[in-house]
Amino acid sequence: MNDPARHHSPITMSDVLDAQRRLRAHVPTSPAMSYPLLDALVGYDVRVWVKHENHLPVNTFKVRNGTSALTALLERDPVAARRGVAAATTGNHGLGLAWAGARLGIPVTICVPQGNNPDKNSSIVSYGARLIERGSIYDEAIAACDEIVEREGLTRIHSTNNADVLAGAGTMTAEFLEQAPTLDAIVIALGGGSQCVGAVAVRDAMKPTLAVYAVQSNGARAQHDAWRDGVARHGQPVRTFAEGVATGATYDLTFAALRRGVNDFALVSDDDIAQAVRDLLRITHNVAEGAGAAGLAGLRALAPQLAGQTVGIVLCGGNLDAARLSVILAGGTPT
């Protein structure tokens, strides 16, 4: 098929619609809310919509990604699905897979480095997933994952380099545009890029005028730099408390699509992100993790150029632990 989007995007709208069909029985619609006090905070006559992905099961949009990947596997290869899946992750991707696996009866193995966030570990285990703690850094957890995938014949579900994961992430934007059809722009925290790539695919089909903005912390700006100069990155520094956007690399499946489809990119500081956590708590009474607050931090940076527009931000995750929340409420920025 001569679909121009295919040349630059790993997914199209039909993939997103198919994911939406598979998710329907499992993942509820997340609310889109507006708050007059948030509009006042942002200023520049911007009307803000907040997409509350933190209200989904396991408090993160990653439940879309995990459920999309596992339901697709179940339809495509039920024997492999019953054998089980594995992933290396330090957080929300593991939670999304564990939740979806419990619901679909698919065994899930999650490999994490030793010393990983104990709250996330215990939550992953609480959904019946097998947790393997190995090595002191993420790369060793990846090696452990590779080993167990090989030995047990499992299916690896990468957090980004997986078209079903990207299509699942795209369901967020499709849903958001149905709830708030007047959106002129959407501001999205960028880690691996699944949400932005999903947004671009949906935008191209549903509302070509929608601007897609990405946000990263300036302590972990690999994808930003690559988006600017077109040169893929690996092993770049990641100094941010927002682990959901702590990515030191570009990813094969998302890089070209991001480069083509993202309209602009905001870099914010971790102080800005912490301030956004405080503002979201005070105004919306929601807990945002760092990446979950990055949308607001990015919007505040972009607001002058978005004056008068209707803009969606994505509160993409709420899994902030109490210790870091305490630091932030005291006016500080976690390290």
Point out which residues bind a second copy (CB under 8 A). Answer: 28, 31, 33, 35-37, 40, 52, 54-55, 57, 59, 119, 122-123, 126-127, 278, 281-287, 318-322, 325-326, 329-330
Q: Which is nearer to a second copy, 57 or 107 (CB)?
A: 57
Question: Could you tell me which residues come within 8 angstroms of residue 101 by beta carbon, excluding any fewer than 6 positions away?
Answer: 66, 70, 85, 107, 108, 127, 128, 129
Q: How far is the CB of 282 from a second copy (least distance, A)?
A: 6
Q: Which is nearer to a second copy, 79 or 330 (CB)?
A: 330
Q: How far is the CB of 303 from a second copy (least distance, A)?
A: 18
Q: Which is nearer to a second copy, 145 or 328 (CB)?
A: 328
**HSE-CB for 266 with a 13 A CA cutoff:** 26
Q: How far is the CB of 14 from a second copy (least distance, A)?
A: 29
Q: Which is nearer to a second copy, 128 or 304 (CB)?
A: 128
Spatial distance between the Cα atoms of 177 and 142, rounded to a whole number of angstroms: 36
Q: How far is the CB of 126 from a second copy (least distance, A)?
A: 4
Q: Which is nearer to a second copy, 202 or 320 (CB)?
A: 320
Q: How far is the CB of 319 from a second copy (least distance, A)?
A: 6
Alpha helices in the chain (DSSP H): 4-8, 13-23, 36-42, 62-76, 78-83, 92-104, 118-126, 138-152, 163-179, 194-206, 222-229, 255-261, 270-284, 290-302, 322-329
Q: Which is nearer to a second copy, 10 or 91 (CB)?
A: 91
Question: Could you tell me which residues come within 8 angstroms of residue 172 by beta carbon, excluding any fewer than 6 positions away?
Answer: 30, 51, 53, 61, 64, 195, 198, 199, 314
Q: Which is nearer to a second copy, 1 or 330 (CB)?
A: 330
Tokens describing residue 76: 């495509």
Q: How far is the CB of 36 from a second copy (least distance, A)?
A: 4
Q: Which regions of 18-84 does DSSP assign to beta strands (E)?
A: 32-33, 47-51
112 beta partners = 133
Question: Could you tell me which residues come within 8 angstroms of residue 95 by beta carbon, excluding any fewer than 6 positions away?
Answer: 58, 59, 60, 62, 63, 66, 120, 123, 124, 127, 319
Q: How far is the CB of 67 from a second copy (least distance, A)?
A: 15
Tokens describing residue 37: 């006090």
Q: How far is the CB of 102 from a second copy (least distance, A)?
A: 9
Q: Which is nearer to a second copy, 50 or 246 (CB)?
A: 50
Q: Is the dihedral of CA 254, 259, 263, 264 positive or negative?
A: positive
Q: Is the dihedral of CA 212, 218, 220, 222 positive or negative?
A: positive
